[in-house]
């Protein structure tokens, strides 16, 4: 009798082999291809890249969640974390090549998206969310997008689809430092890094390295209830406007991470809207009318 997991993956394996055989034949014959067909191949490439990206995320999650199992030891010996990182980087690089097929459209999307995010982050920086921590995060987002995307550093290259992820991880990093009682030093260091971009043309990072690394290396400790609550406050107050952007922010992004990597907080994730005040009290956010040490 075949195992259920084999039955689940088998159709995908067959489909992938058929695609590979088809492309091999195309390479052998080298036929002239109409532009419309080339566009379809570009879309196929995007779809396959998305599939590989999903597999990478699944492998990362399974290797983390199964790290104490004996079966994991067998997996790690054949396919370690470094190989997963290399595969993910290959997906990113290939994605860049595919996107070059329609560079004009990509540039227009990037310009429009940046304009929308700049506008909303600027609004958020002037909005009183009722809590100092939310106000501080809004200020950091605005400070970052002004400094990092000023256009003065021609060496800085990026994929616009990463913009909402980077912005979200600023809040994730803030939440972690809030838990550690390190919020003020974090804000200071973050702004110092942003300021350095004006003179350091060799700095091509989208984020300070310690935050950027959070987007690449899974660490459950990074995903805190603090970040989830602050993110919800920001979303409800202003950032909801970005959920309908062409490159949207995901209103449940941090909540899903907390649920996935902290199953013991699943109930808090489910009831976080109805019981937001209880969570705010738990993580000790400071109402703006009593806060006196904001940066």
pLDDT of residue 38: 73
pLDDT of residue 293: 46
Tokens of 146: 């002004």
How many other C-beta atoms can be found within 10 angstroms of the C-beta atom of residue 211? 22
Give, in degrees to the nearest 5, the angle at Cα 268 between 267 and 271: 85
Environment class of residue 150 by beta-carbon count within 10 Å: exposed (0-12), middle (13-18) or buried (19+)?
exposed
Q: In terms of Cα–Cα distance, which of 190, 274, 166, 172 is closest to 231?
A: 172
Contact assessment for residue 67 and residue 75, using Cβ atoms and an 8 Å cutoff: no
Residue 152 CB contacts under 8 Å (≥ 6 apart), including other chains: 197, 198
Q: How far is it, in rounded angstroms, from Cα 163 to Cα 246? A: 11
Q: How far is it, in rounded angstroms, from Cα 203 to Cα 198? A: 10
Render each residue's pLDDT in the chain as its tens digit; 295 residues. 445 555 678 888 888 899 988 888 888 777 777 777 777 887 788 788 778 777 766 666 665 554 445 444 444 444 555 565 666 666 665 655 555 555 777 888 999 999 999 999 999 999 999 999 999 999 999 999 999 998 778 788 888 999 999 999 999 999 999 999 999 999 999 999 999 999 998 899 999 999 999 998 899 999 999 999 999 999 999 999 999 999 999 999 999 999 999 999 999 999 999 999 999 999 999 999 854 444 4
pLDDT of residue 291: 44
pLDDT of residue 88: 63
Q: How far is it, in rounded angstroms, from Cα 219 to Cα 261? A: 9
pLDDT of residue 83: 60
Q: In terms of Cα–Cα distance, which of 158, 157, 39 is closest to 98?
A: 39
Max distance between CA atoms of the chain, in angstroms, equals: 73
Tokens of 10: 């088998």
199 forms bridges with which residues in the sheet? none
**DSSP per-residue string spanning 120-186:** HHHHHHT---SBHHHHHHHHHHHHHHHHHTSS--TT----GGGHHHHHHHHHHHHHHHHHTT-HHHH
pLDDT of residue 68: 46
Q: How far is it, in rounded angstroms, from Cα 173 to Cα 224? A: 9
């Amino acid at each position: 009798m075949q195992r259920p997991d084999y039955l689940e993956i088998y159709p995908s394996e067959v489909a992938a082999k058929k695609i590979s055989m088809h492309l091999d034949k195309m390479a052998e014959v080298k036929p002239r291809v109409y532009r419309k067909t080339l566009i379809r191949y570009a879309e196929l490439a995007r779809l396959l890249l998305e599939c590989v990206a999903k597999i990478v995320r699944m492998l990362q999650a399974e290797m983390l969640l199964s790290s104490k199992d004996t079966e994991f030891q067998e997996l790690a010996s054949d396919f370690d974390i470094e190989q997963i990182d290399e595969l993910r980087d290959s997906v990113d690089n290939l994605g860049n090549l595919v996107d070059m097929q329609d560079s004009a459209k990509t540039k227009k999307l990037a310009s429009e998206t940046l304009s929308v995010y700049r506008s909303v982050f600027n609004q958020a920086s002037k909005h009183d969310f009722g809590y100092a921590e939310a106000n501080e995060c809004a200020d950091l987002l605005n400070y970052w997008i002004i400094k990092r995307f000023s256009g003065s550093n021609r060496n800085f290259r990026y994929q616009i689809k990463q913009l909402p992820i980077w912005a979200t991880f600023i809040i994730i990093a803030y939440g972690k430092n809030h838990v550690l009682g390190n919020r003020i030093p974090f804000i200071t260091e973050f702004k110092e890094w942003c300021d350095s971009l004006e003179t350091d043309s060799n700095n091509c990072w989208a984020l300070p390295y310690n935050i950027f690394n959070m987007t690449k290396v899974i660490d459950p400790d990074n995903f805190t209830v603090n970040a989830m609550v602050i993110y919800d406050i920001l979303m409800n107050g202003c950032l909801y406007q970005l959920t309908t952007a062409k490159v949207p922010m995901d209103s449940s992004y941090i909540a899903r991470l907390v649920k996935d990597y902290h199953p013991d907080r699943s109930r808090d994730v489910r009831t976080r809207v109805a019981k937001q005040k209880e969570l705010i009290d738990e993580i000790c956010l400071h109402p703006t009318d009593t806060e006196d040490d904001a940066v």
